[in-house]
Structure 1
Amino acid sequence: MSFKSILKMCVLASSMVMAGSAWTAEMADQIWMGGPVLTMSDSQPAAQAVAVKDGLILDVGTLQAMQAYKGPGTTVIDLQGKALLPGFVDAHSHAFMIGVQAMSANLLSPPDGAVKDIQSLQETLRQWLLEQSKTREVGLILGFGYDDAQLAEQRHPNRHELDAVSESVPIIIIHQSSHIGVLNSKALEMAGISVQTPNPAGGVIRREEGGTQPNGVLEEMAFFSSVASQMGKLTSEQVQALFVAGTDLLKRYGYTTGQEGRATSDTVPLMQAAATAGKIDIDVAVYVDVLQDRDFIARHVSRHYTDGFRVAGAKLTIDGSPQGFTAYRDRPYYRPPEGYRADYRGYAAVTPDQVFESVDWAFKNDIQLLTHANGEAASDLLLAAIKTARDKYGPRDRRAVLIHGQFLRRDQVAAIAALDVFPSLFPMHTFYWGDWHRDRTVGPVNADNISPTGWVREHGLMFSTHHDAPVAFPDSMRVLSATVTRRTRSGDILGPDQRVDVVTALKAMTIWPAFQHFEEKEKGSIEPGKLADFVVLSQDPTSVDPEQLTSLQVVQTIKRGKLIYEQDGALETKRLSQAQTGQMFSRFLNEWQHQASETGSAEHAHGPELLMGALLRGFE
C-alpha cells in the first residue's frame, strides 16, 4: 500500500472518529481558536482552543478535542494570532469615582494627560469650562488627576491660582491620589471653610505662609467633607450615570469584574438600581465603609451577585496617600513638604480604637474586611488588630485584605503570611511615583522596596495588583508592565529584586484577585465550568519584550460569552457549514500530503493540530 493511501485512510479514520464524537458531545455556542490561550491554570497553563456553552466554559484543550463540540449552530471565533486570557478581576478601585474622573477635566500629566505646570492646569480648566455646557447647571468646575510631583513648580496649586480661572463658579480639583484637593475661594466659602475653621479629625486645612488663612489645599477628611458637600447636590440619575461611566471605562481595559472600594449605605442603593436596570455589563463587588453603617453591611453582604452587583464586605481606611505625604509612617519622611517639621511622619485617619473595633466586628461576624494601609505605622496597627481578633475568634477563612501596603517592611510581610492576610499591592506606583518616592518620600534605599511583590513571593503568597482608579488610570497593561519591569517615568528600575515574571503578574490580575474575592471557583482562569469571562489582547504578553508590555492593547472584553467591548473590526466570526467543513478537509489533506512528501514524515507540522486548525479556521 502506498504512503498516500495510508495517509488517506488515517485521515478518513480520524474524521469518522471525530464525527462520532460530535454526535455524542454537547454542542458549543462558541469555539475560540486561532491564537494562544493563556489559562492561568497550573494544571493546563496553555491551550489551543476553548468551547463555550450558555456563558460557561464547556471545555479547554487542543483544537482536535474542541472540534467534538462543534455543531451547526456553533460560532467559531478566529483570534487571528491574538491572545485569549481570563477577564481581569479588579482587585481594588472605585468604580463610582472612575465615573467622576471620566466626567471631569483631565488634569493628569503625560502620558495620560497634558498638564505639566500650573499654567497648563489653568488652561485645561478654562477649556473644559468652555466645552461643558452643563457646568452652569451643576454649578461646579471639577478637575481630576493633578499631581504636584509632576508639575514644574513641584507644589500644589493654591486658591488664588484657581480664582484666576473663575471667582464666581466654585472650583474643586482632585489630586491624583484622591486624598488631597484644592478649592478656589468660592468653593471654600460654600464648604464653610474660613480662618476660624479648625482642622478636622484625620485631616488638615493648609494655611497661607505666616498666617491662618486657608490656601485652598485640603488633606484627607478636610477634603472629603468639602467634596461631599458639593457632590451631595447630585441627583440619583447623575449618581447612577457616574457609576455606569466608571464600569464602562473598566471594561475597555479588559476588566470583567470591577470594584467600588469605599461605598456608603446611601450610594449602594443607587448603584444597585443601575445594575437592576441592566445598565452595567460587568460584575461589581462593593465594600461599604465600616465606620459608616455596620448594620447595613451585615444586612446586605453576600457572596452572590444579583444583576452583576453585590455588597462583598467592609472597607476600613487607616491612613492616606504616600505620594501626598499623608501615609502614616513609622519614621520621618525623607524630605517632607516645605514648612513641615523634620520629624513629620504623616498621620492616621482613624484612632487605634476604631481600627481594633472594626477588625473585631468583621472577624466576629465573618465579614470580609479590606483595609487601606500605606505607611508602616498604619500596617503595624492593622496587623496588631488582626492578630488580636484572630486569637479571640480563631483562624477561619476570612481573607482579610491589606490594600496598598506601599511602605511595608520585610518583617511585616512575614506577619502577613503568618496571619493569613491577603496582600493587594500597587506596583503602578513604581511608574507614576517611583522617582518621587526615591527623591522625596522614603529616599533611594527604601524606595526600592515599595510594593514588595518579591518579598511576598518569597513567602509563597498569592497577591493581587490594582490600579486604584481613579488614583491611576485603569490601564491593565500599565499594571502588568509596572509589576514586571518596575520602570519609573525617568527610566530607572526601582527595586530589581522585587520584579516578578509575566505569568506571575498575570495571575495577580486574574486568578489571585478572584481568590481575594472568594470567586476562584467561578472566575480568574480558563477552566471547564467557570464563567466565560475573557479578554483578548493584541499579542501574547508572555512572548513580547517586557519593556513593550504597555504597547499591548485590549482588543475585546467578553462577559459570560457576550461581547461587551471591542475595538473596531477586531475579530472575525464564522459559522461553518458541513460543506465548508468538507472542503477544508480536502484542502488540508492536499496541504498535508504536500508537506509530508517533502519531509518524508506524516507527522510534519503537528498533523492533528494543523488538521483542526484547518477545520476551524479554513484556508482563504
Structure 2
Amino acid sequence: MGITAYTARTIHTMNPSQPSGQCVAVRDGRVLGVGPLEEIQRFGEVRIDARYADKILVPGFVEGHSHALEGSIWDHLYLGYFDKRDPDGRHWQGLRSTEAVSQRIGEYVGEGPQDSPLIAWGFDPVYFEGERIDRRLLDALSEDRPIVVIHASLHGMTVNSAVIRLAQLNDKTLDGIVRDGDGQPNGELQELPAMHLVFDALGFDIFDGASSERALQRYAQAARREGITTITDLLNPMSDAALEALRGATAHDDFPVRLVPALNALAWDPQAGSERVIDAMRYNHERLHFGLVKLVTDGAIQNFTARLQWPGYLSGPENGVWNAPPQTFHDMVQHYHQAGLQLHVHTNGDEAVAIILDALDEALAMWPRPDHRHTLQHVQLIRQDQLKRVARLGACLNIFANHIHYWGDIHLAKTLGFDRCQRLEPAASAARLGIPFGIHCDAPVTPLSPLFTAWCATTRQTASGVVLGDAEKISRARALEAITLGAAYTLRLDDRVGSLEPGKWADVTVLGEDPLTSDTPLKDIRVHDTLLSGRPTSDG
C-alpha cells in the first residue's frame, strides 16, 4: 500500500518528542511519520492529500466514559432540563417547569398501544423547586398506561401507579423504593436494584437498547460528528445478543470508530463475568476491544444517591444509596484484579472512593500487578488525601468535567455548599500528583463532545457562569491531552491511539481552528472530519 501525506496548517501530535508539524504520513492505516515532506519522501513515493491544508489536525478524540445507550435512548421521549440534539440532528427544547414536563408527556401518552409502557428520559428532579415530582403528576396524565420516566443521571426513575402495581412495589422491601408518609411507594426509585424491579416487571430494560447494530451505528455516527475515533460503552450487558451486535456492527469497514465495551459487573456472578470477558477478548480486532469490567458503587450527587463522607449533604437526605453492599464491591475488586482484568469503577462520592481504594490496596498487597491501570470513574468529590492514595496505588482517574457546567449551580446551592464545590472534578490536582487521567461526558447523561468537555475543564464554569474551583482549572494543552492520550492510557490503548506517532493507528480529528492558540472557546471550535486508520470517515 502506498504512502499518503496529509498536509495541514498545524498538526498537534501529543508526542512530546515531536509535538507539532505540517504533514502526517500514513501507510497501511498507521502513522508513518510527522515531519517535513522531504523527509517523508525518503520512505518512497508519496501521494499528497491537501484537502486539510488550511485545517488543524490532532489525534482522534478518545471518549473514555460514555454509553452506547446514546444510540437507542432517543427512541424514547426526552424530558431534560437542557436543550439537546439527538443523533439525527433534531433539536429538543429543554423543559424548565413541571407544567412543561406534564405537557410533553401528555402530548405522547395517547400514542401507541395503551398497554405498552410510555418510556421517557432525561428528567432531572433536582432542578425543580418545591416537593419532588412523584407518581401523582404521572397519574394525572394516565393511571392505566404504564409511564416510566428515567432521570437524567440514569440512576433513578419516577413511575405512575400502573407501574407500581405491575412491579408489585408495595410488597417489596428495598432501600431504593422511596415511600410517602403512609409508607406507600411514591413513585420514585433510586439506583439500579430498584429500577430493575420495574424493568423486570415490564419485560423491558432500557440498558439493553444498545444491544442492536442499529443503536451502535447511530452511536458511532454521533461520536464521529464530534471528532471521536475511539469510544467506550462503559456498562455493556455482554449478553449473547450484545456480543452479536458488537461484532456485527464493528465488522463493517465503514464503522467510523473503535469501540471499547466494559462488562456490567453487577449483572454477573464474578467467576462467570471474568470468564465472559476473557472469552470475548478472542474477538478483539482493530475496531473492537474487549477487556474492561465496569463496577457501579454509588449513585449521583444531584440525585442525592452518591455516598458522601461527613458532613454529608447540604440539604435533603443524610446519605446516598449503595448499588450493592460494600462487601460485594470489595469481593469483586479482589476477583477481577486476580483474574488479570482491568476495572473501571464508578465512584461519585468520597465514601465510594474510600471503599474502592481500600479494596485496591488489599488486592495489590495480595496480588501485585504492575501497570494494572484500574480506573476510578467520575471521582467528582475525591479528597486530596484520596488523590495521594490513587497516585501511590498506580491507579488512573477519568474525571467527569461536564458535571461542573450542568450541576455546579445545584451543588453550590443544594447538595454540597461552597467549600466542597471548589474540589469538584479536581483535574489540576491529579495533574500535579502525576496521576494519569482522562476527562469525559458520560453520554447520554451529558452530550457527546470532547471539545465541550475540554472547555469545562479549562473554564470550570457552571451553567449560570459561576467559576467553581479556580485552582483546579487545567490548561488547554493539558485538556487536549486528557481527551486524547490521557483517555487512551486509561483504556490501555495508548500504544495504539491517542497520539500521532510512528506505528500507531492513523486516527485523526480535523478542526477548523487551533485548540491551543485560538481565541474561540474550545466548545465552539468546529469539527470538520475524522480519519480512522488514515481514511476520512465523512460522507463527502
1:598 match: none
Shift of 1:271: 3.0
1:355 match: 329
Shift of 1:98: 1.2
Question: Does 2:119 align with 1:145?
Answer: no
Over 3 Å counting, the alpha-carbon distance change for 1:162 and 1:308 in structure 2 is same
1:173 match: 149
2:491 match: 517
Q: Distance in 2 between matches of 1:154 and 1:76?
A: 60
Shift of 1:543: 1.5
Question: Does 2:270 align with 1:290?
Answer: no
Of 56, 70, 74 in structure 2, the residue corresponding to residue 98 of structure 1 is 70
Q: Distance in 2 between matches of 1:367 and 1:519?
A: 14
1:122 match: 102
SS in 2 for 1:454: helix
Shift of 1:50: 0.9
Shift of 1:136: 3.3
Q: 1:509-561 deviations in whole A, cap 9, x for unaligned?
A: 11111111111111000112111111112211112237x22111222122112
Q: Residue type of the partner of 2:77?
A: A
Q: Residue type of the partner of 2:133?
A: P
Q: 1:5-56 deviations in whole A, cap 9, x for unaligned?
A: xxxxxxxxxxxxxxxxxxxxx841x322232211111111111111112221
Shift of 1:373: 1.0
2:302 match: 323
Q: Distance in 2 between matches of 1:93 and 1:237?
A: 12
Q: Distance in 2 between matches of 1:191 and 1:310?
A: 37
SS in 1 for 2:126: coil
Over 3 Å counting, the alpha-carbon distance change for 1:122 and 1:538 in structure 2 is farther
SS in 1 for 2:315: coil
Matched-pair contact (CA < 8 Å) for 2:292–2:341: yes
SS in 2 for 1:181: strand
Q: Distance in 2 between matches of 1:561 and 1:283?
A: 13
Of 157, 173, 177 in structure 2, the residue corresponding to residue 198 of structure 1 is 173
Matches of residues 27-66 of structure 1 in structure 2 within 5 Å? Answer: 27-28=2-3, 30-66=4-40
Of 288, 300, 310 in structure 2, the residue corresponding to residue 309 of structure 1 is 288
Q: Distance in 2 between matches of 1:236 and 1:378?
A: 28
Q: Distance in 2 between matches of 1:447 and 1:413?
A: 16
Shift of 1:87: 1.0
Q: Distance in 1 between matches of 2:118 and 2:248?
A: 25
Superposed CA RMSD in Å reads 2.6
SS in 2 for 1:487: coil
Matches of residues 392-407 of structure 1 in structure 2 within 5 Å? Answer: 392-407=366-381
1:160 match: 136
Q: Distance in 2 between matches of 1:350 and 1:122?
A: 33
In structure 1, runs of 5+ residues without a counterpart are 1-25, 570-620
Of 536, 554, 557 in structure 1, the residue corresponding to residue 510 of structure 2 is 536
1:586 match: none
Shift of 1:156: 4.0
Matched-pair contact (CA < 8 Å) for 1:175–1:181: yes
Q: Distance in 1 between matches of 2:19 and 2:48?
A: 24
Q: Greater shift after overlay, 557-566 or 408-417?
A: 557-566
Larger Rg belongs to: 1
Matched-pair contact (CA < 8 Å) for 2:7–2:48: no
Q: Residue type of the partner of 1:327?
A: A
Q: Greater shift after overlay, 137-146 or 323-332?
A: 137-146
Question: Does 2:427 align with 1:428?
Answer: no
Matched-pair contact (CA < 8 Å) for 2:210–2:216: no
Question: Does 2:230 align with 1:250?
Answer: no
Q: Distance in 2 between matches of 1:189 and 1:31?
A: 64
Shift of 1:66: 4.2
Q: Distance in 1 between matches of 2:339 and 2:210?
A: 34
Give the TM-score, by structure 2 length.
0.90
Matched-pair contact (CA < 8 Å) for 1:48–1:61: yes
Of 57, 62, 82 in structure 2, the residue corresponding to residue 110 of structure 1 is 82
Matched-pair contact (CA < 8 Å) for 2:72–2:209: no
Shift of 1:423: 0.8
Matched-pair contact (CA < 8 Å) for 2:216–2:249: no
SS in 1 for 2:529: strand
Shift of 1:388: 0.6
Q: Residue type of the partner of 2:105?
A: L
Q: Greater shift after overlay, 284-293 or 468-477?
A: 284-293
Question: Does 2:155 align with 1:183?
Answer: no
Q: Distance in 2 between matches of 1:237 and 1:356?
A: 29
Matched-pair contact (CA < 8 Å) for 2:457–2:474: yes
Give the TM-score, by structure 1 length.
0.79
Over 3 Å counting, the alpha-carbon distance change for 1:303 and 1:526 in structure 2 is farther
1:615 match: none
Matched-pair contact (CA < 8 Å) for 2:63–2:231: yes
Q: Distance in 2 between matches of 1:167 and 1:252?
A: 41
Over 3 Å counting, the alpha-carbon distance change for 1:481 and 1:38 in structure 2 is same
Question: Does 2:338 align with 1:364?
Answer: yes
1:608 match: none
Q: Distance in 1 between matches of 2:108 and 2:452?
A: 27
Q: Residue type of the partner of 1:317?
A: V
2:189 match: 218
Matched-pair contact (CA < 8 Å) for 1:477–1:553: no
Q: Distance in 2 between matches of 1:43 and 1:213?
A: 64
SS in 2 for 1:165: coil
SS in 2 for 1:309: coil
Shift of 1:261: 1.1
Over 3 Å counting, the alpha-carbon distance change for 1:434 and 1:356 in structure 2 is same
Aligned pairs, number:
524
Q: Distance in 1 between matches of 2:283 and 2:458?
A: 33
Q: Distance in 2 between matches of 1:125 and 1:252?
A: 30
